[in-house]
Amino acid sequence: MQRFRAAFLTVGGLGHAPIASGTFGSLPAVCLAFLLVQFGQQGIVLELSMILLAVIFSIACLRFGRESEELFGKKDPGQVVADEVAGQAIALLWLPWASPESPGALARNMAIAASAFLAFRFFDIVKPPPARGLQRLGGGLGILIDDLIAGAMALVVVQVIFRLVVVA
């Protein structure tokens, strides 16, 4: 059972990447969202998928966070990237994806996915207030909360960019 938890929290081992484990941990949510959009599922299927990812990986962090800190021997271990999946999934919610049949859809959807990814990674790394302070909380909540905040901040930025600035 401990192997399963470790595999889940490291998102199949992505958390063991020698550098930028959080970046690698963010990719599954981005790839899933992009694939769903490209297969015409940019509506309720995409939104529910991202919500489900955020909920499942958040629960895993909250439930097994303290255990993971003991397993890896430090607070908020870099190997645990389930929090990145949860936060990145939030950053991918309710975006103005283009229908795959519309002209320029591939380029627009790639730009949206890349923007959500980069914005999330920026806020996750920089940790603007209140994220940095809340990260000091113990156990799973401390592991998770900064990523959920980063996801929400990224969501707002990408929404503004693609709904108000890039309207085409």
DSSP single-letter state for residue 16: G
**Per-residue pLDDT band at 168 (split at 50, 70, 90):** low
Q: Give the Cα separation of 127 and 109 in Å (integer).
A: 26
- pLDDT, one tens digit per residue, over 49-63 is 999 999 999 999 999
pTM > 0.75: yes or no: yes
Distances (CA, A) of 97 to 1, 11, 102: 39, 26, 11
Domain range summary for the chain, segments of one domain joined by +: 2-165
Q: At what angle do helices 105-126 and 139-160 cross, to 10 degrees?
A: 140
> What percent of the chain shows pLDDT beyond 70?
98
Q: What is the pLDDT of residue 94?
A: 96
Task: Give tens-digit pLDDT for 100-148.
Answer: 999 999 999 999 999 999 999 999 999 999 998 888 888 899 999 999 9
Query: Residue 77 has what pLDDT?
Result: 84
For residue 142, which amino acid is it?
Answer: G
Looking up tokens 């795959």 gives 100
Q: Which two tokens stand for residue 8?
A: 């889940």
> Which of the 8 DSSP states describes residue 51?
H
Angle, in degrees to the nearest 10, between helices 2-9 and 44-72: 120
Report the distance separating Cα 85 and Cα 29, nearest Å: 6
Supply the pLDDT for residue 167.
64
- CA–CA gap between residue 65 and residue 80 (Å, rounded): 9
pLDDT for the residue numbered 39: 97
How many other CB atoms are found less than 10 A from the CB of residue 132?
12
Report the amino acid identity of residue 31. C
